[in-house]
Amino acid sequence: MSNGTHQIPVAKPVLDEREVEAARRVILSGWVTQGPEVAQFEKEFAAYVDAPHACAVSNCTTALHLALMAVGVGPGDEVITVSHSFIATANAVRYCGATPVFVDIEADGFNIDPDKIVAAITLRTRAILCVHQLGMPCDLARILQVAQQYGIKVVEDAACATGSEILWDGNWERIGRPHADVACFSFHPRKVVTTGDGGMLTTRDAGYDQSFRLLRQHGMTVPDTVRHGSRSVIFESYDEVGYNYRMTDLQAAIGRVQLERLPEIIASRRRLAALYASLLSEIDGLRPPAEPSWARSNWQSYCVSLPPHADQVEVMQKLLDCGVSTRRGVMNTHLEPAYRGKAQHRIAETLDHSEYAQSSSIMLPLFVQMNSEDVRYIVAALELALVRAPELVH
Ligand SMILES: *Cc1c(COP(=O)(O)O)cnc(C)c1O
């Protein structure tokens, strides 16, 4: 079986002449980093997620670092999170000199199991870093309930969740208002909108926002934009050790176009996901991802759990042979050499569901340029790849 024409990639950003024009405008303006375009992108992103403050940074990993610092995470502290995530989640905790404490995910999804958080709390627990994995909102209501009970701050790793929604007090709200203390977003090309690389922090706390702005630019007390516009001579000072986590105006200008496209991108992703779900429901033993009644995913990735008899690598290879690219399930940080057997993390109870998800699920292609014929082709190829006798698949 072959689609005859081309290889279907797993993801593809939506970029065209509009982004080219935005970058061109910035280049010709002469102001190319953290200037007016960044300020405007922040304003528009804040409006989109309905947050009082949004601060743009170089990527989501740096956003996570600043968010954890702002809520007071430092050396000796513990941060409850998942191993089942891109490694940047746990690394950001390590940047603060703190210890990630890994809690398992739910048996029937890819997000943290809220029931397992309490047992992981110690006197050193400073924060919970929860992840909206693959764009699916995690159970913030229950996570925040535990956090409030124990006086712990909560940071949302919303890297994948731009445009995802959660039912909150009877209303659908976008991830990033934020519902916890800080939310962090990514604009890497693998996410639903991109600036090449890029990140955003949203918060309701003006003090946090202030600290993000200071720390993203070397701890400099007077930003370039203020000095540039000043009619009198002013000197900046550096009151603490900061970082260079700036976003450029080139990125921000592209981000503004991407943000305009976002509602259409999400509508289209949700249509494709719905078609996948209806076609995949016909395949025996296969479990498509499902939204809880209180969540609407942006379907940043479409990750299906394979039937127990299926061999993940074999299925992925057969799909590749049919011209369909896939990826394995979400990685487990604790299994990587950077963490495995090392003391700088702690595992709360077991990570059975996390490990099982990595080795028994695969991500199917999902991007805006796909059509329903592509989805049908991919599902047919998957059905064939799952047939037990390999000689039947040709
Ligand atoms: C992509 C991703 C990150 C890192 O984002 P960057 O912008 O590449 O730094 C962090 N956490 C999760 C869950 C991600 O998927």
Instruction: Check if 196 has its Cβ closer than 6 Å to any atom of ligand 1.
Output: no
Whole-number Å distance, alpha carbon 226 to ligand 1 midpoint, is 31
100-150 per-position pLDDT tens digit? 999 999 999 999 999 999 999 999 999 999 999 999 999 999 999 999 999
- Distances in Å between the alpha carbon of 294 and those of 135, 184, 262, 290? 14, 21, 21, 11
pLDDT at 4: 57
Residues paired with 184 in a beta bridge? 157, 201
Q: Report how far apart, in Å, the C-alpha atoms of 213 and of each of 50, 56, 88, 181, 339 are.
A: 19, 9, 21, 16, 31
Name the band, by pLDDT with cuts 50, 70 and 90, for residue 389. low
pLDDT value at position 252? 98
Which residue's alpha carbon is at the smallest distance from atom 1 of ligand 1?
A: 159
3-state secondary structure of 126: strand
Residue to substitute in 10, 57, 59, 61 for testing ligand 1 pocket (most ligand atoms within 8 angstroms of CB): 61
Band of residue 227 on the pLDDT scale cut at 50, 70, 90: confident
Q: What is the pLDDT of residue 5?
A: 62
What is the position in ligand 1's atom list of the atom closest to the CA of 191?
1
Mutate to test the pocket of ligand 1, among 89, 162, 216, 297 (most ligand atoms within 8 A of CB): 89
Q: pLDDT tens digits for 60-114?
A: 999 999 999 999 999 999 999 999 999 999 999 999 999 999 999 999 999 999 9
pLDDT (average), residues 311-336: 97
pLDDT at 226: 83
Distances (CA, A) of 299 to 163, 190, 276: 10, 12, 11
- Bin 12: left if φ > 0, else alpha if -120 < ψ < 50, else beta: beta
> For residue range 138-195, what is the model confidence (pLDDT) as tens digits?
999 999 999 999 999 999 999 999 999 999 999 999 999 999 999 999 999 999 999 9
CA angle 361, 367, 371 (to 5 degrees): 110
| Residues belonging to the chain | 394
pLDDT value at position 109? 97
- Domains of the chain, residue spans: 17-260, 262-392
pLDDT for 339 equals 97
pLDDT per residue as tens digits for the range 243-275: 999 999 999 999 999 999 999 999 999 999 999
Does the Cβ of 200 fall within 6 Å of ligand 1? no
Q: What is the pLDDT of residue 225?
A: 81
Q: Is 184 in the pocket of ligand 1 (CB under 6 A)?
A: no
Q: What is the CATH number of domain 262-392?
A: 3.90.1150.10
Distance between Cα 383 and ligand 1 center (Å): 31
Query: What mean pLDDT is predicted for residues 313-332?
Result: 98
Buried b (16+ CB within 10 A) or exposed e, 372-385: eebbebbbebbeeb
Say if pTM beats, i.e. exceeds, 0.85: yes
**pLDDT tens for each residue of 4-54:** 567 999 999 999 999 999 999 999 999 999 999 999 999 999 999 999 999
Using most ligand atoms within 8 A of CB, pick from 60, 85, 155, 191 the residue to mutate for ligand 1.
60
Q: Span 17-260: which CATH code?
A: 3.40.640.10
Distance 89 CA to ligand 1 centre (A): 7
pLDDT beyond 70 at 306: yes
Q: How far away, in angstroms, is 252 Cα from ligand 1 center?
A: 18
- Res 217 pLDDT > 70: yes
Strands 302-305 and 295-296: unpaired
